[in-house]
Amino acid sequence: MPRTFLITDEFPPIQTGIARLMGEIAQRYPAGELVVSTGQHRDSLETDARLPAGMIDRLPVPSRGLRTLPGLLLWSRRAAALARHRRPGFIWSDSIRPCAYAAKWVHERVRIPYGVLVHGGDLLAELHRVHHSRFARRTARALMGSAAAVVANSQWTREQAQKVLRELGLDPLADGVRVVPLGTDPERFRPGMDTREVRARYRLGDDRWVISVGRLEPYKGIDVALRAVARLRRDGTAVSYLVVGAGKKRAAFRQLAAELGIGDAVRFIGSVPDGDLPALYNVAEAYLGVSRRTGHTRVEGFGVALAEASACALPVVAGRSGGLAEAVKEGETGFVVEPDDPAAVAAALGRVVTDQLLARRLGQAGRKAVESYYNWDRVIRDLREIEFQVA
């Protein structure tokens, strides 16, 4: 009988930070103790085959369809039927909307307690909704008010969750919001890997690279990173910039690189197979993660890519935005800068690419931090401890 039920609309092979977290939970919970309810994906067969038989229950609805009213009704009913059959002791919902709808439905009918995982931008969106819609306020209060626990991925995200909960009049729940910082896999992401194959595959040559990994959207700060790299190159530091990820701003960022005169020194390689990512980090000398908050919802609650870079012993330069800086120990594993200031980004990056002793010290400290704390095994231990406390 599974101990835990995970309800998620973002699960591999979807490539988002939340999906990565959900995939790690699925891989690392003790065998036989987890069942996952999620949506259909055209490339899911390979993903599901790597997990224990019977763990994944995929609805005959694409994941995006779970956000519609018919999808929610189907999901909720199927989740309740699955819960009656499998009898888990606790439910994790990976979001307020849509997942907590199904979690609450199961809770009301099968009396299984549930916890809600919150990530950052989702809370900014929720706060905006409850300020502008009575319906959103009522539903948010119902969904959150029945939760046995709310878990944030950083202290910053915890503060945003508390704002939402207090706005809804759920002060006791706000006081009890837990924090489980995320991490990575230090066995998979490690220094000293052979990079010859990925250098050849992505035509990286023998250049000195710095790297960013993430979706190519405005809040990721790729434009500021490009300006910082251009500034360094103008000052005589021959560094090139490797950008891993896809997104709607790719053409605009390529155009900006050309306008800055660094088009030949920037490589946009799009999304890459998971197996290539550790070696690509090893190609680089530093990681640039200068995300900033844009609009009502676009922000990073925690920087998993920064943890991956640290695991590979890279010094990191992070933006002081959202929970991103919590993945960095200022002056110990990297530097935290204003994400809208190209000069500040260039200055921090220049320090780590021109001072090998400093870069090595920062990278080694980052590696140690991942080995000791910022890793998925510790994340799973924290989540399971919360289950046992509140279930």
Instruction: Report, as ranges of residue numbers, the positions in the chain whose pLDDT lies below 50.
Output: none
45 and 163 inside one domain: yes
pLDDT tens digits, one per residue of 156-171: 999 999 999 999 999 9
Looking at the fold, whether 175 and 26 belong to one and the same domain comes out as yes
Check whether residue 131 and residue 166 sit in a common domain. yes
Query: Does residue 213 share a domain with residue 179?
Result: no
Q: Is residue 328 part of a domain?
A: yes
For residue 236, is it within any domain? Answer: yes
Q: How confident is the model at residue 296, as a pLDDT?
A: 65
Look at residue 1 in the predicted model and tell me its pLDDT: 59
pLDDT at 15: 80
CATH number at residue 140: 3.40.50.2000
Are 222 and 134 contained in the same domain?
Answer: no
Rounded Cα distance between 38 and 99, Å, is: 9
Residue type, 314: L
CA distance 157 to 154: 5
Q: Are residues 137 and 248 in the same domain?
A: no
Contact 325, 181 (CB under 8 A): no
Q: Which two tokens stand for residue 270?
A: 């799009």
Of 84, 66, 63, the closest CA to residue 11 belongs to 63
pTM: 0.92
The answer as to whether 314 is a domain residue is: yes
**Residue 188 in domain:** no
**Residue-range definition of the domain harbouring residue 296:** 196-372
pLDDT of residue 274: 86
Task: Report the C-alpha gap between 262 and 226 in whole angstroms.
Answer: 8
Q: Are 250 and 329 within one domain?
A: yes
CB 255 within 8 A of CB 178: no
Largest Cα–Cα distance of the chain, in whole Å?
66
127 and 215 part of one domain: no
Domain co-membership, 113 together with 17: yes
**Number of folded domains that form the chain:** 2
Is 92 exposed, middle or buried, given 0-12, 13-18 or 19+ CB atoms closer than 10 A?
buried
What share of the chain in percent tops pLDDT 90?
85
In the block, residue with structure tokens 């991103």: 324
384 and 343 within one domain: no
Q: CA-to-CA distance for 153 and 316, rounded, in angstroms?
A: 19
Residues 285 and 341 in one domain: yes
Residue at 135 is within a domain: yes
How many helices, marked H, and strands, marked E, lie in the chain?
Answer: 16, 13
